[in-house]
Amino acid sequence: MKELVSILDGNTFLVSDRRGDIEPSYDFPTGLFSFDTRFLSSWVLTLDGERLHALSVDDTESYRTKFFLAPGEPTHYLDAKASVIRSRAIVGSFEEELTVLNHTGAEVEFTVRIEIAADFADLFEIKHPRQKRGQTTVSVSTDELRLTYRREAFHRETLVKTSAPAQVDATGMTFRIRIARNSKWTTRLHVSSVVYGARGEDIRATLPYGGSRSADEIRAEQQELIDRAPKLGCDCQPLAGAYRRSLNDLAALRYESIALGVRLIAAGLPWFMTLFGRDSIITSLQVLPFLPELVPPTILMLAGLQGHRVDDFRDEEPGKILHELRYGETAGFEEQPHSPYYGSADSTPLFVILIDEYERWTGDAALVRRLEPQVRAALEWIDTYGDLLGTGYLWYQTRNPETGLQNQCWKDSWDGISYADGQLPSFPRATCELQGYAYDAKVRAARLARTFWNDPEYADRLEREAADLKHRFDRDFWIADRGYYALALDADGRQVDALTSNIGHLLWSGIVDESRAAKVVEHLLGPRLFSGWGVRTLAEDEGRYNPIGYHVGTVWPFDNSIITWGLWRYGFRDEAGIICDAMLAASEFFDGRLPEAFAGYAHDLTEYPVEYPTACSPQAWSTGTPLLLLRVILGLEPQGEHLIIDPAVPPGMGRVELLDIPGRWGMVDALGRSRGPEDQPRDG
């Protein structure tokens, strides 16, 4: 696969090759995208009919990039008579400044050509091409190329303007230029992507950040968010670099929802630049101690779109929290069910967990009281629609076998849930972590009911149900002769016996019996699951294990962050530190930006984490991973009006201090260090 370069501002992003060129592709999402539509599918530069080659790429900022190029083959660079600089940015629209430099001692004529096309492909069409059902038209003027796509009320447009005289035709722009010796020529190209609404105007125009912004405005806005985060001082360069990169990427991934006009965090570039239930909730949990103000918009958006009816096509049910919200053509014409789609069984209990965790950090009782009906509806869904077989467990099976997701847990690829021998279980399925989430949701909701809703009877009931679930879960999921919890139960109640990373989520939820915890930890840190770079999704001796299989052997940073949180919860500080150390070591090979996933090869086989070929980067819950790891390293835990600090600092990490942690207790500081006999946990 070609090495790609991406820039983004919210959910508008551009992916090109290292020359800055975009070529039509249905293999990977190159192009200019906004709200799930590709507005540029071709953007190819030539100089005197020749393609250019990259000398260097400056991509240190998320929203802009500079390409330094030369014509001809690399062997000719030594005697290049000209070079080209492409400076581009996503600033609401897409802007590119094109500069041609003449390095000779004489005046030279050049022909500069940019091939331009827009296929208006829906993001879903990149992986699954289909015949377009609308019509594309092209109009040309002296300095403007307009490409328009219409399908009934669905109307999108790409408008390209230039600041220099050009010959504009239906496939691009040609500049015939003359440059004096040792001089340069420049033009500025402006590309607008228009998402038309019912009133014939760009539906983003009325949003607070909907119009074009300058690079300085974007930089200032992102820096304002970064400046609000706690300041990290530490001796560990990988931790410092990952923390800094995470804050930058979180700032860049924020986008405005068309529905409510609030700022949300997109789940991941390039495939998931929208709101997700599971991903957005987990990212919110990761960032809470650092940037709590990012969380309420996600909570309110998910609450506002909570399911209220039975809709087989969308897998919607009353009380259920959505899985994914899309804005493209296939969702608009119901060729995909993502308007929104509710096909996840875990987003609903995770929603309850997030609301409780948010209050514990911020003391925002008003939000908890405001959302009491939504939390109660979510808990009701767990006990009714979620319990498909009436066994007291949380199950899933899609209502939409045509276009719905088969697996509706976080390992939602078709083969993500399997027996140890590789066979696939029948539906419905009850994966283990779903039961942990349901348990935790009930325990936390009991606190909310007793403290904020003045309903102690409901609280007592929830606590009884949680205790009963914990008892039954231990009985039905524990595989005694192997010493770990089953991945799932199948439709017949049989244990799906593969050894997976899911058991680490059980520690985080608190559903694991104390007597089982050490054995679970032994498996998580054992060679079958732990690669040395992190915990694999599936143990290496299982039937479907593949070190580069999406959910069957890769290492997922977010998964490891949840596991470390669980290890810390059960008191396994050293083991939590080992995974933290491994994740941070891996982050160095990705310039501090942990990707969606990387290969599960063992550390003694490769001295660097091997890239997964189509991983999203940046991806929100991978971006949030260093923040949650830092929380674990410092041992930060809110308890009422106090912040408990109980470090799990990896050996050799040295000084770690976080200044001005926001929360209900005011701004406090936390200090962690490599542990010795003089280091004791302290109450912040």
Alpha helices in 478-596 (DSSP H): 502-509, 514-524, 557-569, 573-588
- Ranges 101-110, 450-459, 508-517: which has the least confidence: 101-110
Residue 631 backbone phi and psi in degrees, to 5: -60, -45
Q: Is the pLDDT of residue 336 over 80?
A: yes
- Taking the C-alpha atoms of residue 38 and residue 125, their distance in angstroms, rounded to an integer, is 10
Question: pTM here?
Answer: 0.94
88-97 pLDDT per residue, tens: 999 888 999 9
Q: Based on DSSP, count helices (H) and strands (E) in the chain, helices before strands.
A: 17, 29
Place of tokens 């996933």: 597
- What residues pair up with 155 in beta bridges, in sequence order? 150
- Taking the C-alpha atoms of residue 71 and residue 80, their distance in angstroms, rounded to an integer, is 7
426-442 pLDDT per residue, tens: 999 999 999 999 999 99
21-36 pLDDT per residue, tens: 999 877 778 999 999 9
Looking at residue 72, its pLDDT comes to 75
266-325 pLDDT per residue, tens: 999 999 999 999 999 999 999 999 999 999 999 999 999 999 999 999 999 999 999 999
Query: Which carries the bigger pLDDT value, residue 313 or residue 1?
Result: 313
Q: Is the pLDDT of residue 202 over 90?
A: no
Q: Is the pLDDT of residue 683 over 70?
A: no
**% of the chain residues with pLDDT over 70:** 96
Which residues lie below 8 Å from residue 497, measured CB to CB, with a gap of 6+?
419, 420, 479, 482, 486, 487
- Taking the C-alpha atoms of residue 316 and residue 307, their distance in angstroms, rounded to an integer, is 6
Q: Is the pLDDT of residue 682 over 50?
A: no
372-395 pLDDT per residue, tens: 999 999 999 999 999 999 999 999
Mean pLDDT across 622-651:
94
Looking at residue 215, its pLDDT comes to 83
| Closest alpha carbon to 593 in 180, 19, 94, 62 | 62
Mean pLDDT across 92-113:
94
Provide the pLDDT confidence category of residue 128 given band limits of 50, 70 and 90: confident
Q: Is the pLDDT of residue 250 over 80?
A: yes
Q: Is the pLDDT of residue 614 over 70?
A: yes
552-579 pLDDT per residue, tens: 999 999 999 999 999 999 999 999 999 9
Query: Which carries the bigger pLDDT value, residue 211 or residue 126?
Result: 126
Mean pLDDT across 88-111:
93
Q: Is the pLDDT of residue 678 over 60?
A: no
DSSP 344-392: -SSHHHHHHHHHHHHHHHH--HHHHHHTHHHHHHHHHHHHTTT-TTSSS
Mean pLDDT across 173-191:
96
- Taking the C-alpha atoms of residue 308 and residue 313, their distance in angstroms, rounded to an integer, is 14
Mean pLDDT, the chain, whole residue set: 93
Mean pLDDT across 34-40:
94
Quick one: residue 581, left, alpha or beta (phi over 0 = left, psi -120 to 50 = alpha)? alpha
Looking at residue 210, its pLDDT comes to 60
Q: Is the pLDDT of residue 676 over 60?
A: no
**% of the chain residues with pLDDT over 90:** 83
Looking at residue 77, its pLDDT comes to 54
